[in-house]
Structure 1
């Protein structure tokens, strides 16, 4: 429907739940959710999103706008023979989920975001704002340099992913202290990241194997999402000031750097007032870093199942 082929993992019967992964991940990031949600009475589908894993990787940077990504979700729901779905996203998958609810509320039974809160469009293009605030060292701006991060991460994919997952986890030293993810533009990002002697208990060598394999085509498709941040700001101008009206849930870790981005703590404080159908106070998981559903699967599964069952009446 949207001119794209998506690889999916699927299990269960019942109301459709679409699970959208983030960066640098794949459908596998939800492998601890798929079974429990299916057992709870839902049809669970986790795609590799556009530019990731075994899904299509368009060459054109312009093919990765938020409108393309929402279009993929809409097309996926229709291709699965469904009229409506619950949409759940983590990291980059969260903005896709939130925007699907914002742009197509007729399609969305409920929306949940992990790590990244709902979109409230700022007054300035985000890449431009971060460029000025952090003198070009914010990781979004580093990712926006064509071919640079692509080459750094692809030099040794397994090591890059191991370092990145540890650095952003709740297990890393200094996690949750409000430090911004800044990059030395000459040395790259990985140079400053510790390489753990052992992986955290929640992230096994088998998980790392699956993740490494999913990036066998490189990182360019995934990084192209970041290269559209300012374009997304332009494209979403018609929805400036609009709010997500679908039933909603927000979950984040208190050791995650993303909820500490400039302006985000204040936004999270105001969410209950800003979101008319936020079904509970934002759920903050103590000791949890960025990889919310992987670090704390039991708590995330319980919160999601409660939210989904309340919406489905089961």
Structure 2
């Protein structure tokens, strides 16, 4: 019963009996440790380091392991607008009467052959038209605002004799291909990051800003024209324009649409690049 008290008394005496110089040096050492405490790692740096690990073997149509995707999703989920230097009142998120269409701003953060990181800033009613991500795994995080997302996957699971493509009349342009709607809904920040894969998860999608909003995008691998990973835009048409040979129940037909590559000049899209002014990424 008295052992604890004796031990405490002994510790007290031992401390008190230390030379004054030793006590002073110990105090200074603690102060130095406090003074040299490492600054916290910026969230965008953590994102960069995680991307390096997740996409270390990035190649077209190669999906990282589920645990790696989950880790990256968790890192993205924690990032806030202020972590990348954004505020809703910035000029990126406003329009003026002289603009024929809302101008979208892209803030480039980082890109290498394995992955890219960037932010799309959309004013209200801003639209990124329907486009694809060939051979890519993409994670998107809405940092603030409300956005409508509509996404599709190509139909590949019908019987072989079922026509899932058709050539419209002579003046109809390129071939049309059947796609299934994966998502068609509004998303309000904060919400979970979305993930799309090379062959599923909504590889083709369209963004429409319901309110001013910002989207943080991670692509692995990034777009690359020399490697055949160029961005293709599409028109979408209702399933009813061509039903021949397709035995889809009436109640399910609203989940299918025909997509056709666009060969116009995308007059409904204007994207400008601006300098990213958030915390800088340090490569090591």
Normalised by the length of structure 2, the TM-score is 0.25
Higher strand share: 2
In the superposition, the TM-score normalised over structure 1's length comes to: 0.24
Query: Larger Cα Rg: Structure 1 or Structure 2?
Result: 2
